[in-house]
A = this chain, B = another copy of it.
Amino acid sequence: MNLSIAHLGPSGNHSEQAALFYVNWLTKTTREQAILCPYPSIAQSIRAVAEGKVQLAVVPAENSIEGSVTMTMDAMWQLDNLQIRLALVMPIVHVLISCATDLGNIKIVYSHPQALAQCQGWLERFLPNVQLMATNSTTEALERLETDLSAAAISSERAAQLYNLPTLASGINDRPENFTRFWVVSQNKISQNKVSQNKNLEEQSLISQSDASHTSLAFSVAANVPGALAKTLQVFAHLGINLSRIESRPTKRSLGEYLFFIDIEANFKEPLLQSALTELLTYTEVLKIFGSYNVLSTDVI
């Protein structure tokens, strides 16, 4: 049976590209076949995994310019039984797609607001007088380009190929160091990944791949306990465990109450990390472990 993989649609966007990279890698390494299932939102892609409608989802976790993808964080926290299988780091390259024969004929440029923002310098230099128009995705406006020769869209090279449209300029993002990190998410093999005080941490080790380099987790702390955050961070600092990322999200219950998402440069099975997590349990309200996984750069695929 083919693996089914959810991602944010429509075809041609960066989430689909990341999912395709993953499928190619999977086919090469395990000979497994997969089909892609586009969903209208990131939350729905992740929910499809939690509900067993698909086996995997490939979702953006953070971008080097824009930061965390909050929809992904919120869905990972709200849904149970999810684990991260792999992280994919993909370079983001924006191209200008248009049927205009010359840049001088372009009067309007469509794209997602993030893409427009990331190409602002290029646009000011080469298309200073055009109108910029925000769309819901980088591919939404592509259909109208064939009939409107004064229009252009900022999208990906793959989208240009898919829609059979010409690329007028490539690599137009202002910062060449533009990467997005995606997560490949599956159901957790064990029925519950909320770790409670009474649950043996050993059970959690099932979700760790033995050679995996990173571990992700999230936790809430009891509300209005002074020093609660400092205490949890001290656990890691005290044991010399490096956090590669810490991100706070609101609990949505009350202003000033947060969840914390942490990425750790260590395998869940390492004794030091096990010690830290056991200690962490005494300071946290809910602790969710998303497993240990490797990071794959899509440059090498």
Binding site for B on A (CB under 8 A): 62-68, 70, 89, 134, 136, 175, 177, 179, 181, 226-227, 229-231, 233-234, 236-238, 240-250, 252-256, 258, 260, 265
**Are A230 and B243 touching (Cβ within 8 A)?**
yes
**Are A67 and B242 touching (Cβ within 8 A)?**
no
User: Distance in Å from the Cβ of A224 to the closest Cβ of chain B?
Assistant: 11
Cα distance A254–B177 in the bound complex, in angstroms? 6
Which residues of the other chain, B, contact A255 by a CB distance below 8 angstroms? 62-64, 89, 177, 179, 181
**Are A237 and B233 touching (Cβ within 8 A)?**
yes
**Are A246 and B245 touching (Cβ within 8 A)?**
no
Cα distance A129–B233 in the bound complex, in angstroms? 47
- Please classify the interface of chain A as helix (H, G, I), strand (E, B), loop, or mixed, using the class held by over half of its residues: mixed
Residue of B nearest to A240 (CB): B227
Cα distance A147–B6 in the bound complex, in angstroms? 42
**Are A246 and B248 touching (Cβ within 8 A)?**
yes
User: Distance in Å from the Cβ of A266 to the closest Cβ of chain B?
Assistant: 11
Cα distance A226–B241 in the bound complex, in angstroms? 9
User: Distance in Å from the Cβ of A33 to the closest Cβ of chain B?
Assistant: 30
User: Distance in Å from the Cβ of A82 to the closest Cβ of chain B?
Assistant: 20
**Are B243 and A64 touching (Cβ within 8 A)?**
no
Residue of B nearest to A90 (CB): B255
Which residues of the other chain, B, contact A250 by a CB distance below 8 angstroms? 62-67
**Are A70 and B64 touching (Cβ within 8 A)?**
no
Pick the 6 closest A-B CB pairs, nearest first.
A64-B255, A234-B237, A230-B237, A179-B255, A233-B233, A226-B242
User: Distance in Å from the Cβ of A267 to the closest Cβ of chain B?
Assistant: 16
Task: Take A64-B255, A252-B175 as given contacts and tell me if A236 and B246 are in contact as well, using a CB distance cutoff of 8 Å.
Answer: no
Which residues of the other chain, B, contact A63 by a CB distance below 8 angstroms? 250, 255
Task: Take A250-B67, A252-B65 as given contacts and tell me if A236 and B245 are in contact as well, using a CB distance cutoff of 8 Å.
Answer: no
**Are B230 and A67 touching (Cβ within 8 A)?**
no
Residue of B nearest to A232 (CB): B237
**Are A229 and B243 touching (Cβ within 8 A)?**
yes
Task: Take A70-B66, A70-B67, A227-B240 as given contacts and tell me if A256 and B245 are in contact as well, using a CB distance cutoff of 8 Å.
Answer: yes
**Are B226 and A230 touching (Cβ within 8 A)?**
no
Task: Take A89-B255, A258-B245 as given contacts and tell me if A230 and B230 are in contact as well, using a CB distance cutoff of 8 Å.
Answer: no
User: Distance in Å from the Cβ of A193 to the closest Cβ of chain B?
Assistant: 23
What are 14 A-B contacts defined by CB distance under 8 Å? A62-B250, A62-B255, A64-B256, A65-B250, A177-B253, A179-B255, A181-B255, A226-B242, A227-B237, A227-B242, A229-B246, A230-B242, A245-B248, A245-B258
